[in-house]
Amino acid sequence: MSMQKLKTDEKKMTGRKGSLSEEVNLKDVMKELQKISENQRTLQEQMIDMRKELSEEFIEVKREIKDLQKEMKEVKEDKQKLEKKQDKFQAKLERLEAKNNKLEERQEKLERKELEFQVRVRNIVEEPKENLKQITTQILADLLQIQDEVMEDRIEKVYRVITNYSRKNKVARDVVVQFERRKTREEVLRTSNKNTIHYKGQKVTILKEHPPSTMQKRKKYLFLTEELKKRHIRFRWEWKEGLMATYNQERVWITSEEKAKEFYKNLMKKENGPTTPDPNSERIRKKPRTTSPDNTLYATTLQTSNLISLEEEEAEEEEEEETTQH
């Protein structure tokens, strides 16, 4: 009986311990569930806050995009306005350049017209207290074989000028002679090309006057004219711009710097330049000049090499730009 009672008590004791552990486990589970629910609630709140922040940021970004689009539209409109203004400015600039070119051409014509009454005389020995007009009158009168009084009446004024040529070579200053009539000037130039003039043992050279603008244009072609002279190739300056060269019995008009460079390049490819042509044979082969890129008024070619060399000399010295009246 006692043994059965003990077993019954043990069973009762073991049954109570199991219920307690179950209660403890349920409490822990409830606590864990409560923690999980709290964490979920916290996460939900955080997600709600994040959504709000994202929504606000999205609205801000959207606003910034609209502002950028508006700015881009304004920039595009400003660009179009600037392009229109630029087009107007470019058109105005082209008109001004055209007017400027016309003014330059008109000025060059006026200068050329004024210089049509002048010649430049070089290598007249300078003396103290010289009577320059009298000396020049005697030289030109002897050249044209007329009396001094007649020549003096044809001369309007005479004066010396300081030039780069006179400074570099330390020679007498050039003498500018202005005639009353253009015909006298042409006669002097034509006669001087056929005859040699001397004064006190010095060879006197008579040059044709050119406007400074013309001499400035010719500076671009000096590299070519130097080579043409070395190869004894005849050439003459064109009225507006450029030059005409007689090469291989044909006339070549070079009226731009690009053409001059191309001609020079082709010329330098040949190892040996052409020899000095026979004037008589060239005169026979020469064709009449009927066209010119510049002006048909200058259709007659110069037959004498003397005038060509004189014009070359003027271009080389580039002195007309800095000429001052003494």
Asked whether residue 216 falls in the same domain as residue 319, the answer is yes
Residue 322 in this model has a pLDDT that exceeds 80:
no
Alpha carbon of 160 to those of 122, 135, 326: distances in Å?
10, 12, 6
Residue 292 pLDDT class (50, 70, 90 cuts): very low
The β-bridge partners of 199 are: 202
Q: Which of 208, 241, 259 is the last residue of a domain?
A: 208
Query: Do residues 22 and 104 share a domain?
Result: yes
Nearest to 45 by CA among 53, 59, 29: 53
Residues 231 and 247 in one domain: yes
Task: Indicate the average pLDDT of the chain.
Answer: 77
pLDDT of 11 over the 80 cut: no
Q: How much is the pLDDT for 278? A: 46
Helix (H, G, I), strand (E, B) or coil at 221: helix
Instruction: Residue 187: give its domain's CATH number.
Output: 3.30.70.1820
* Judgement on whether residues 103 and 25 belong to the same structural domain of the protein: yes
Least confident of 44-48, 228-232, 283-287, 306-310: 306-310
Mark out the alpha helices in the chain (DSSP H runs). 2-115, 132-144, 148-154, 164-169, 182-192, 212-218, 222-230, 257-269, 279-285, 305-317
Residue 260 backbone zone (phi > 0: left; psi -120 to 50: alpha; other: beta): alpha
Q: Which residues are paired to 243 by β-bridges? A: 237, 254
Residue 112 has pLDDT above 90, yes or no: no
- Boundary of a domain, candidates 50, 76, 110: 110
Domain housing 175:
116-208
One domain, residues 225 and 179:
no
Question: Is residue 304 pLDDT above 60, yes or no?
Answer: no
How far apart are alpha carbons 241 and 215 in whole angstroms? 10
Kindly tell me if the per-residue pLDDT of 316 is higher than 60: no
Distance CA 55, CA 8 (A): 70
User: Structurally, how many domains does the chain consist of?
Assistant: 3
Lowest mean pLDDT among 20-34, 39-53, 275-289: 275-289
pTM here? 0.51
- Shared-domain flag, residues 202 and 306: no
CA dihedral of residues 261, 263, 264, 268 (deg, nearest 10):
140
Portion of the chain with pLDDT greater than 70, in percent: 75
d(CA 54, CA 49): 9
Stretch among 62-76, 260-274, 296-310 having the lowest mean pLDDT:
296-310
Rounded to 5°, the CA angle 179-182-183 comes to 110
- Is the pLDDT at 177 greater than 90, yes or no? yes
For residues 1 and 106, membership in a common domain is answered with yes
Same domain, 236 and 277: yes
Domain boundary among 66, 83, 110: 110
171 & 90 share domain:
no
Starting at the earlier edge strand, list the strands of the sheet with 250-254: 235-237, 243-247, 250-254
How is residue 69 written in tokens? 């689009």
216 in the same domain as 198: no
Residue 139 has pLDDT above 60, yes or no: yes
- Whether the per-residue pLDDT at 109 is higher than 50: the answer is yes
Whether residue 233 sits in one domain with residue 307 = yes
Q: Within 10 A of 116 (CB to CB), how many other CB atoms are there?
A: 13
* Strand arrangement of the beta sheet that strand 174-179 belongs to: 197-199, 202-208, 118-122, 174-179, 155-162, 324-325
Q: Are residues 175 and 94 in the same domain?
A: no
